[in-house]
Amino acid sequence: MKRRQPMFSNPMLSLIIPVHNEAEVIPALLKRLNRVCRQIPGSVELLFVDDGSHDDSVALLLRARTHESGIRVVQLSRNFGKEAAVTAGLEHARGEAVVLIDADLQDPPELIPAMVREWQRGADVVLMKRRSRAGESWLKRTTARLFYRVINRLSDAPIPVDTGDFRLMSRRTVDALNRLPERNRYLKGMFAWVGMPTVTLEFDRDARAAGSTKWNYLRLLHLAMEGITSFSTRPLRLALVLGLLAAGAGGLFGTWEVLRALVFGISTPGYASMIAIITFLSGVQLLCVGLLGEYVGRIYMETKQRPVYIVSEDSDDPARTVLPQLRVAGNDQKH
C-alpha cells in the first residue's frame, strides 16, 4: 500500500459528504470532485462521513485515500441518520469554510467554485436554491413545496424555500452551529436559526447519478414532524384553539337542545347527530394527545443526554483504521 501523505492541518475548504450505501456512485463522485478541487485556490479537505454503510462505500473511499492526501473518512458505529452524519461532519471539519453536498451527485459539485467566490466576497452562508428538480416525481415536488410553506407559517425562524443541505458556511457559522446542544436535530431549521449574512444562488438539480434514494415517504414524513416540532410551539397553540372551538361548539349545541326542549317540548334525541359529535370530539382529543406526545417525546430524548453519534473509525487515526476488503459478486460475507 502506498504511504499516505499527511492530512491538511488547516485546509481552506472542507467538503462534507454524508455516505450511506453509495458504492455505485462513489467512483463518479470522486472523479468529479477531483476536477473541481483543482479549480479552488488553497487546500481542500474531502470529509466523507459513513453513516453505517453495508456495501463497499468505505472500502472504495479508503482505497482512494491511499493516493489522495485530501480524503478523510469518518465512520459512524451504525446508521444514525443523515442529520447525525452531517453533525459529525460539521464537528470534524477543519476548513475555514465548509460545503455540505450529498453523495448522489444531484447537487452538481461544479458549482462549488462559484460558492467559494461568494464566500471570499464576504458572505458567511451561500445557499443553493433549486430552480428545477430533475428525476423527482410530481408528488414529491408538490409535498416538498407544501412542507416549506407550512413550516414557514409555524416557525419563528423561516426556512428558505426550495433549498436543501447544499450550501457553503463560513467557519464562524459552523462554530455557532456546533455550540447548539440539542439531540433532536433538524439542521435546516438550525441553519436558519443561526442566521449570518447570506447569498443565494440558483441551480438546476440533477437526477441521481446511480443507485436509489434512501428517503421514502415515511422517512420524509418523520423528518417533517421533526422540523415542525423542533422549531415551533404553534401546533400546541393550534391544539388549544381547536379544543376551545370544539368545547364552544358542544356548549352551543347543548344550549340549543335545552331551548328546543323548553319551547317545543322534549323531542327524541337524534342518534346520528350524537354519534357525529362524539366522533368529532374524540378525534380532537386524540389529535391533541398525540401532538403533546410528540413534544413530550422530544423532551424525553433530550433529558437522556445521549451523544448524537458515535465514531467507530477515523482515517486520520491510522492505529484505529482497518482497510476493508472489497466484496466480490455473489459473495455475501461481511468484511
Cα–Cα distance, 145 to 136 (Å, whole number): 13
End-to-end CA distance of the chain: 19
Mean pLDDT, to the nearest integer, of 204-208? 70
Q: Are residues 73 and 143 in the same domain?
A: yes
Mean pLDDT, to the nearest integer, of 125-154? 70
Q: Evaluate whether 7 touches 45 at the Cβ level (below 8 Å).
A: yes
Q: Are residues 124 and 261 in the same domain?
A: no
What's the pLDDT band for 168 if we cut at 50, 70, 90? very high
Res. 240: pLDDT tops 90: no
In 3D, which of 101, 105, 51, 104 has the Cα closest to residue 74?
51
Q: Are residues 31 and 129 in the same domain?
A: yes
- Taking only the tens place, the pLDDT of each residue in 10-35 is 678 999 999 988 888 888 889 898 88
Position 225 in a domain: no
Mean pLDDT, to the nearest integer, of 72-89? 88
Global pTM value: 0.68
Position 34 in a domain: yes
How many domains are contained in the chain? Answer: 2
Position 168 in a domain: yes
- Higher-scoring residue by pLDDT: 202, 155: 202
The C-alpha cell 453523495 sits at 103
Position 7 in a domain: no
Whole-number mean pLDDT of the chain? 75
Position 279 in a domain: yes
Q: Are residues 298 and 312 in the same domain?
A: no
Q: Are residues 279 and 314 in the same domain?
A: no
Q: Are residues 261 and 315 in the same domain?
A: no
What's the pLDDT band for 333 if we cut at 50, 70, 90? very low
CA 32 to chain centre: 24
Residue 33 belongs to domain spanning: 13-215+307-320
CATH of the domain at 121: 3.90.550.10
Q: Are residues 134 and 168 in the same domain?
A: yes
Q: Are residues 86 and 199 in the same domain?
A: yes
Position 221 in a domain: no
Res. 192: pLDDT tops 90: no
Position 6 in a domain: no
pLDDT of residue 79: 87
Position 223 in a domain: no
Q: Are residues 155 and 40 in the same domain?
A: yes
Q: Are residues 201 and 74 in the same domain?
A: yes
Q: Are residues 113 and 59 in the same domain?
A: yes
What's the pLDDT band for 70 if we cut at 50, 70, 90? confident
- Higher-scoring residue by pLDDT: 201, 254: 201
Q: Evaluate whether 198 touches 173 at the Cβ level (below 8 Å).
A: no
Sequence-distant (≥ 6) Cβ neighbours of residue 4 within 8 angstroms? 65, 66, 69, 318
Q: Are residues 177 and 313 in the same domain?
A: yes
